[in-house]
Amino acid sequence: MFGMSPWQELLSARGTGARQTALFIGRIRGRLSLKELGQLAGGIHHNAVGIAIRRFTQRRQNDRTSLKRSRLSERN
């Protein structure tokens, strides 16, 4: 979007997983607190940030599990 930083674009995206991904990366790589991430994301409450990161982590784990299952079924 015009006039927005890449970080702002990711955080404004809803329903795509981009926002959760940006928060996860900020938490893991940036070592930012949930409160700091929430402030950077435009005032999101730290509880909402934690929920978004948890959902991202769960989806990531589910994707890995699904990938393993599909690889096993291809072998048979």
Q: Which tens digit of pLDDT belongs to each residue from 15-53?
A: 778 888 889 999 999 999 999 999 988 899 999 999 999
pLDDT at 39: 93
Q: Left, alpha or beta for 66 (phi > 0: left; psi -120 to 50: alpha)?
A: alpha
pLDDT band, residue 2 (cuts 50/70/90):
low
Structure-token pair, residue 12: 């404004």
Q: What is the pLDDT of residue 64?
A: 85
Q: How confident is the model at residue 65 (pLDDT cuts 50, 70, 90)?
A: confident
pLDDT score for 75? 66
Structure tokens at 53: 């990161």
What is the rounded CA–CA span in Å between residue 21 and residue 23? 5
